[in-house]
Amino acid sequence: MQLLPVILSGGSGTRLWPVSREALPKPFMRVAGGGSLLQRTFERANRLPDVVATAVVTNLAYSYKTAEELMNERAASSLALLLEPEGRNTAPAVAVAALWAKAKFGGDVVLLVLPADHLIGSEEQFQVAAQEAAKVAVGGDLVLFGMRPSGPESGFGYIECGPRVGSSGACRVVRFVEKPSVEKASEYLASGNFVWNSGMFCFTADAILRAMDQYAPDVRNIAARVIAATDISGPQVTLDSASFSRFPSISLDYAVMERADRVTVIPSEFGWNDIGSWKAVAETVSQDEHGNATEGNVVLVDSRGTYVRSESRLVAAVGVDDLVVVDTPDAVLVAHKDSSQQVKDIVAKLREQGNLAATEHRTVDRPWGTYTTLVEGACYKVKRITVRPGRALSLQYHHKRAEHWVVVGGTALVQIGDQEFQTLPGDYRYIPLGEKHRLTNIGSELLELIEVQCGTYLGEDDIVRLVDNYGRA
């Protein structure tokens, strides 16, 4: 048997703002115990037996960050990135992954589909469940992982379990229930034959494609056109944008799983947490005798049941109960634990106001390094820019701003027009409005400079890229 983990790494994670934002979403979030959610999912999948490769389906905008996160991990040499031009939910993602996998490994390859933003408490029990699911999937079933409920949770979907399948612990799926009321969830818990729908799947490439032929032919046909128009030979597969845009936005559950006949669920107890809110994050952090959980530089006095996360400065709280406090360099969230699902409404309000804090951090990752906005006024903006050794910004120009660069660390090669200048710490370069320019780190250390922008418009969309090493021109 050949096993191919397919990691779905997308979404904006708005319930985990201000740490998770569209420009750097939840899969890249660091959690207690070390590493990002994406790294931990990748490591967990690659410790399974019979893994022939791992595919990560993610947005084209996250390709460089995904590669950086996983380049040093075990088995990264067999990593493939399937890069979507835009998000279209899980059914299109699985369809293109299945067609890609069939072309590479044959139709009997077993796909283990895992969201990148889940935590697993017991890896040993996860491995047992995954191997059981793979054995059932070889027989042609579409397999889900169901979590035995620990309480009447109304925020999850439920699956009703039917008769056992053969001698395994797997059961036929009777029906799906989408986020029931607390009263209904209590009934399901008491019945003993309902599990939470984890959003993890297992099936052969041929089995899921046959099911799509029958239940979601539009998704299947568009996926075929996407793959036909895409070069799938390399480790980074940029999916054809013209055909991909025709996909409907639909989940795999709605498109196939809730309609197909041979659907099986593996009831499991491996400590699953989908990290869907700050309350869920707090449950992953060790607590003191008063039920408080803290990360970073935090002091609590006379407080109970409170979670505080600080990314840099000291955060102190006195006499508070059941709060979530998350402090980042450019935003602070304060919420009651029971209202943590409503954080997404804050993001919606910020979007309405045109506030960039809805989607970006003060420090923004780029393929070449980072930039941090230090101060901004009506006609000026000051940034700190870092460029990794050997990396370069695009050759570009701006319609509405001029730029002033002062190198404060490292060695830069600055191109202005058709001339190039080696630029050392303390040196200054001026880039006039409309002049093409480029910045390259030609040293062995991190390049750091201060940029002052002056102009009538200072948005990031006033960049015309002429040449780019990262496919953005």
Query: How far apart (Å, rounded) are the C-alpha atoms in residues 218 and 246?
Result: 9
Give 148's contacts (C-beta < 8 A, 6+ positions apart): 195, 196, 267, 268, 269
- Asked if the model's pLDDT at residue 470 lies above 70, the reply is yes
Query: How far apart (Å, rounded) are the C-alpha atoms in residues 334 and 319?
Result: 14
Task: Please state, rounded to an integer, the average pLDDT across all residues of the chain.
Answer: 93
Query: How far apart (Å, rounded) are the C-alpha atoms in residues 41 and 49?
Result: 15
Query: How many percent of the chain have pLDDT more than 70?
Result: 99
pLDDT in tens, 130-167: 999 999 999 999 999 999 988 888 888 999 999 988 77
Better-predicted residue by pLDDT, 312 or 8: 8
DSSP letter, residue 26 = G
DSSP H helices in 8-114: 37-46, 63-70, 90-105
pLDDT score of 76: 57
The domain made up of 3-273 has a fold known as: Spore Coat Polysaccharide Biosynthesis Protein SpsA; Chain A (3.90.550)
Q: What is the mean pLDDT of residues 186-214?
A: 94
Decide if domain 363-467 falls under CATH 2.60.120.10: yes
Find, among 292, 346, 342, the residue nearest to 319 by Cα: 292
For tokens 């979601």, the residue is: 216
3-state secondary structure 425-457: CCCEEEECCCCCEEEEECCCCCEEEEEEEEECC
Highest mean pLDDT among 20-34, 186-200, 429-443: 429-443
pLDDT score of 276: 86
37 contacts 29 by C-beta, under 8 angstroms? yes
Q: What is the mean pLDDT of residues 171-178?
A: 92
pLDDT score of 325: 98
Report residue 144 CA to chain centroid gap.
21
Classify 189 as helix, strand or coil.
helix
Give 28's contacts (C-beta < 8 A, 6+ positions apart): 36, 37, 38, 62, 65, 69
pLDDT in tens, 49-58: 999 999 999 9
**Equal fold, 3-273 vs 363-467:** no
- Asked if the model's pLDDT at residue 457 lies above 70, the reply is yes
- Asked if the model's pLDDT at residue 11 lies above 80, the reply is no
Cβ-in-10-Å burial (0-12, 13-18, 19+) of 81 comes to: buried
pLDDT in tens, 339-352: 988 999 999 999 99
- Domain locations in the chain as residue ranges: 3-273, 286-343, 363-467
Better-predicted residue by pLDDT, 223 or 183: 223
pLDDT in tens, 64-101: 899 888 976 555 568 999 999 999 999 999 999 999 99
Q: Residue 293 — pLDDT band, cuts 50, 70, 90?
A: very high
Find, among 315, 250, 276, 364, the residue nearest to 21 by Cα: 364
pTM reported for the whole predicted model: 0.89
